[in-house]
Amino acid sequence: MIKSFLNIKYKDKGFTLVEILVSLAIFSIILLTLVSSFLAMSNSILKTKADMEVSENARRVLNEITYEIRSAKSVYTPTTTTNQLSLETSRYLPSGEDSTFIDFFLCGTAVCLKKESQDSIALTSNSVQVTSLTFSQVSTGGNPSVQVNLTVNYQDSNNPSSITLTSTASLRGY
């Protein structure tokens, strides 16, 4: 009697092979679900970062260009082309001058601003590339206007993001 009682008690203390395999299967499914969720969240965060970087760069460049157009005296047509905008402005004046020139153009994959007699400055970050920048003069009846088309892409091919913006600004001629 005591021997059979001990055997029963001993059998109840352990796990069977089937119980261990079922437990491992359930644990594996839960772990796989958690890892998949983590990877999906990580990819979503990277995609959102790429979208924000592209949008912020495009918005900042377009705002800078339209601000300069609005405060310019005139469009300097001898050097203005569909890929370069030259403006005569009374901002950033060298001493003794009453006007100066600034240019917007593509330099490599960045939009650059060049003030007269200074080096050009990239207006976009290294994480994006500008694939298209075009300028066209628009007649609005009064002051001259310039339409700007800009396409910006994210550099990382694993998280593609692109935006195309168009804006038109009129010279105020202050």
Domain locations along the chain: 34-170
pTM: 0.76
Q: If you count them, how many residues does the chain have? A: 174
pLDDT over threshold 70, residue 10 = no
Q: What is the pLDDT of residues 147-166, one digit of tens each?
A: 999 999 998 777 789 999 99
Sequence-distant (≥ 6) Cβ neighbours of residue 61 within 8 angstroms: 111, 123, 124, 130, 150, 152
Q: Which backbone phi and psi does 6 adopt, to 5 degrees?
A: -65, -40
What burial class does residue 14 get, using C-beta atoms within 10 Å of its C-beta: 0-12 exposed, 13-18 middle, 19+ buried?
A: exposed
- The two structure tokens encoding residue 19: 């119980």
Question: Confidence class of residue 84 from pLDDT cuts 50, 70 and 90?
Answer: very high
